[in-house]
């Protein structure tokens, strides 16, 4: 019998590892091609790993809760033949990258330090600030490449390089040549100096541990508040024309396009247009540097059946018409509810929209989805009495209105920009043509 190496497949450009959450098969079980063998979880989504061949599961190399790198062999499947069959070469490239990182770390120990380094030849991206600090402190290219960055996609931040330099100075000459963990990892491993207030428990209380995703969400929310200076702007919008238009076309839309027409794609279309008008909202922050995003990728916060939250991303949202937007919204929403999202579906967002009105909330103060600098909450649409201005005079009428709540990062977005952006979204919604085609 031949053995096939089942490896952890590539799951996206920014995904380097995953946690095994459940083995669906045990040793000795038969497996069909494309049948799921185990379940895994990244920091965003859960998914299954299928087998590429038919055979019998002969060996399991990792246990539940083990963290596995992309490209690592996680199990062997016996198939007919006489040799060990490897997975496609493309999937094993990540292993080579890991080995390269290890070799780089070894070079940092054994190679004499280069105090006039040329960082431009490195395959990794380093911001100008990080390069300047590295040059001033005599950090070689190999050392810099070996630092575990805490930024997006493993990028080395200012805190990482400063943490490395500080630890190198405080250590002995022998120890200072070793690869130092990132500042974030050091902070995580440090003992806590302040604990939360004690919680009393009586006999009738039930203690339930948070699931993995809830722990991750908890960490993200706390980190976001600690990172960004949150400030909010609120504006009320008359969406009567939108409600009338949707009521008029939704049945024909579903019949022609095979998609339900909700309010979400209409709102997303307006947000994408406003982001084109105000590119200062479509940015990220990396230390003292601002990254201006080329693409407009809208995150769409979605509630899962278990109560947790996930943010799939509509890529290049500004290039979609209302039909394309509806298809993207429905596809991501349906796959989120079914647990079928892929890691790439949650990557690359540049701005996020969350619909708190789904749960009846009039408005909310959402927390920014890092490393973005803004998030818009859509409140519930309500029938309210309103003053209507006409050439003949003002009168009271029934209108459909909602609140937009805009949270933005005051480190880089001032009130003029934050307020102007949400006002532009409101203007697009209120100017909606009730006679437009879809």
Q: Which residues are catalytic?
A: 410, 414
**Cα Dmax for the chain:** 90
Buried (b) or exposed (e) across 111-144, using 16+ Cβ within 10 A? eeeeeebebeeeeeebbeebbebbeebebbbbbb
Q: What span, in angstroms and rounded, lies between the C-alpha atoms of 349 and 316?
A: 10
CA nearest to 164, candidates 148, 180, 177: 180
Residue 29 in contact with residue 108, Cβ under 8 Å? no
CA distance 300 to 333: 9
Element containing residue 101 per DSSP (H, E): helix 93-110
Residue in 72, 76, 96, 98 with CA at minimum distance from that of residue 85 = 76
Taking the C-alpha atoms of residue 270 and residue 376, their distance in angstroms, rounded to an integer, is: 12
Angle 233-237-238 from CA coordinates, rounded to 5°: 170
Distance CA 94, CA 71 (A): 5
Please choose, from the candidates 6, 4, 82, the residue with its C-alpha nearest in 3D space to the C-alpha of residue 37.
6
Q: Which two tokens stand for residue 425?
A: 């979204």
CB contact at 8 A, 426 and 237: yes
Structural tokens at position 142: 């190999």
């Amino acid at each position: 019998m031949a053995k096939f190496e089942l490896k952890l497949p590539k799951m996206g450009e920014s995904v380097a590892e995953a946690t095994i959450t459940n083995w669906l098969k045990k040793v000795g079980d038969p497996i069909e091609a494309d049948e799921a063998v185990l379940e895994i979880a990244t920091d965003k989504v859960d998914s299954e790993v299928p087998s590429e061949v038919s055979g019998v599961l002969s060996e399991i190399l990792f246990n539940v809760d083990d963290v596995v790198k992309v490209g690592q062999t996680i199990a062997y499947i016996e198939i007919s033949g006489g040799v060990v069959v490897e997975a496609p070469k493309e999937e094993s490239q990540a292993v080579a990258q890991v080995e390269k990182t290890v070799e780089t770390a070894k070079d940092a120990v054994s190679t004499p330090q280069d105090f006039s380094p040329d960082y431009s030849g490195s395959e990794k991206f380093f911001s100008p600030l990080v390069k300047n600090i590295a040059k001033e402190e005599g950090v070689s290219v190999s050392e810099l490449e070996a630092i575990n960055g805490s930024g997006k996609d493993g990028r080395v931040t200012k805190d990482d390089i400063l943490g490395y330099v500080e630890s190198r100075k405080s250590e002995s000459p022998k120890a200072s040549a070793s690869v130092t963990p990132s500042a974030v990892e050091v902070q995580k491993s440090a003992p806590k100096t302040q604990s939360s207030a004690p919680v009393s428990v009586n006999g009738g209380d039930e203690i339930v541990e948070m699931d993995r995703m809830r722990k991750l969400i908890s960490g993200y929310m706390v980190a976001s508040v600690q990172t960004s200076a949150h400030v909010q702007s609120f504006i009320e919008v008359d969406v009567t024309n939108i409600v009338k238009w949707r009521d008029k076309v939704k049945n024909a839309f579903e019949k022609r396009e095979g998609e339900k027409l909700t309010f979400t794609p209409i709102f997303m279309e307006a947000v994408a247009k406003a982001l084109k008008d105000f590119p200062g909202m479509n940015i990220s922050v990396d230390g003292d540097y601002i990254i201006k995003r080329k693409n407009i990728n809208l995150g769409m916060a979605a509630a899962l059946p278990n109560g947790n939250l996930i943010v799939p991303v509509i890529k290049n949202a500004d290039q979609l018409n209302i039909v394309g937007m509806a298809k993207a919204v429905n596809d991501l929403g349906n796959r989120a509810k079914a647990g079928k999202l892929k890691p790439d579906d949650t990557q690359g967002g540049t701005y996020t929209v969350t619909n708190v009105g789904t749960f009846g909330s009039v408005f909310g103060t959402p927390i920014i989805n890092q490393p973005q600098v803004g998030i818009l909450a859509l409140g519930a649409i309500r029938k309210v009495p309103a003053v209507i201005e006409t050439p003949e005079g003002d009168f009271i009428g029934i209108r459909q209105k909602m609140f937009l709540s805009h949270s933005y990062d005051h480190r880089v977005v001032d009130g003029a920009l934050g307020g102007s952006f949400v006002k532009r979204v409101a203007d697009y919604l209120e100017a909606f043509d009730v006679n437009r085609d879809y």
